[in-house]
Structure 1
Amino acid sequence: MAKVCPITGKRPMAGNKVSHANNKTRRRWEPNLQWKRIWVPSEKKFVRMRVSARGLRTINKLGVEAALLQAKG
């Protein structure tokens, strides 16, 4: 499964790890994704989602259905 948040669209970033001697090696920064059980009122059941910490804040503020609609555009 891709490491992408369905709410915010956050995905891994690439860059360099730079040592004190200024040697550069490639690395990835992963988004802070967590598996969460989120209650969906319209379906009356829990749904497991791998969502970022920022995505959780958005869900808490808007609700899961509104957050997903906003993410779809």
Structure 2
Amino acid sequence: MARQCDLTGKSRQANHKVSHSNIKTRTFKQPNLKTKKVFDPESGQTIRLKLATSTIKTLDKMGLSKFLRKYYK
């Protein structure tokens, strides 16, 4: 499975680790993903999603239906 947030699509980010002698080594920063059960009030079911922690904070603040209306028009 891809290391990607199920709702926002946030995935890894390519970076360079730069040494003192300015040698650049390519590295990747992974998103902070957690598995979370989210209740969908429209269908009445609980869904298991792999979400970034920033997405979880936004979901807790807005709620699932308001989040989906804002980001998926």
TM-score w.r.t. the length of structure 1 is: 0.80
Q: Which residue of 1 aligns with 2:3?
A: 3
Residue identity matched to 1:22: N
TM-score w.r.t. the length of structure 2 is: 0.80
Count of residues in correspondence between the two structures: 73
Runs of 4+ in 1 over 4 A off after TM superposition: none
Unaligned runs of 5+ in 1: none
Percentage of pairs with the same residue: 34
Counterparts of 2:67 and 2:9 in 1: how far apart (Å)? 12
CA RMSD after TM alignment: 1.7
Unaligned runs of 5+ in 2: none
2:32 is equivalent to residue 35 of structure 1: no
